[in-house]
């Protein structure tokens, strides 16, 4: 494996150099506290302007649970990109499993969602993570998930 990229934080520009997601499915705004092969904290500023709130739900906007899990996965993909130094390369990230997923509170416009992800297993093509999504220190979602990382460039 190559040396990790020398970043402990990723702004939106760097995130877009690591993962292929774009609007309306780029679900993280920043990643901080990046430690290669260990984990990081992703940040999502939840706003009322996001397209899923038009239908989920018009009178009571709630961030869909699947998008919270996806935000944790995107945070994890940034950790992989930094760990494997695959910035500006095509990093395909594909879910393989989601286990022990539980939702504990609503996430609504105005919330700052923090995705705390930890690498449980990694280094090859298949990585496993544990994630906790929190708002103001209160647990919103937790899950373990596996993904295949396909570096194409």
Distance between CA 51 and CA 26 in Å, rounded? 12
* 51-107: pLDDT as tens digits: 999 999 999 999 999 999 999 999 999 999 999 999 999 888 899 999 999 999 999
Distance between CA 84 and CA 64 in Å, rounded? 31
Confidence (pTM): 0.96
> Is 21 labeled as catalytic in the residue annotation?
no
List of domains in the chain: 12-151 (3.10.129.10)
Exposed e or buried b per residue across 70-94, where buried means at least 16 C-beta atoms within 10 angstroms of its C-beta: bbbbbbbbbbbbbbbbbeeeebebe
Tokens (6 digits) for 139 = 């647990």
Determine contact, residues 30/48, Cβ cutoff 8 Å: no
* 102-138: pLDDT as tens digits: 999 999 999 999 999 999 999 889 999 999 999 999 9
Q: What's the gap between Cα 144 and its chain centre? A: 12
């Amino acid at each position: 494996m190559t040396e990790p990229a020398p970043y402990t934080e990723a702004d939106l520009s760097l995130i877009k150099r690591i993962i292929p997601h774009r609007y309306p499915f780029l679900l993280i705004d920043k990643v901080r506290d990046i430690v290669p092969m260990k984990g990081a904290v992703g940040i999502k500023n939840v706003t009322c302007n996001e397209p899923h709130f038009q239908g989920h739900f018009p009178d009571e906007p709630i961030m869909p649970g699947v998008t919270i899990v996806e935000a944790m996965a995107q945070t994890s993909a940034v950790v992989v990109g930094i760990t494997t130094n695959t910035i500006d390369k095509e990093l395909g990230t594909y879910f393989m499993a989601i286990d022990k997923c539980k939702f504990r509170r609503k996430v609504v416009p105005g919330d700052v969602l923090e995705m705390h992800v930890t690498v449980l297993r990694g280094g090859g093509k298949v990585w496993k993570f544990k994630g906790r999504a929190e708002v103001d220190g209160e647990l919103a979602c937790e899950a373990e998930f596996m993904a295949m990382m396909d570096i194409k460039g």
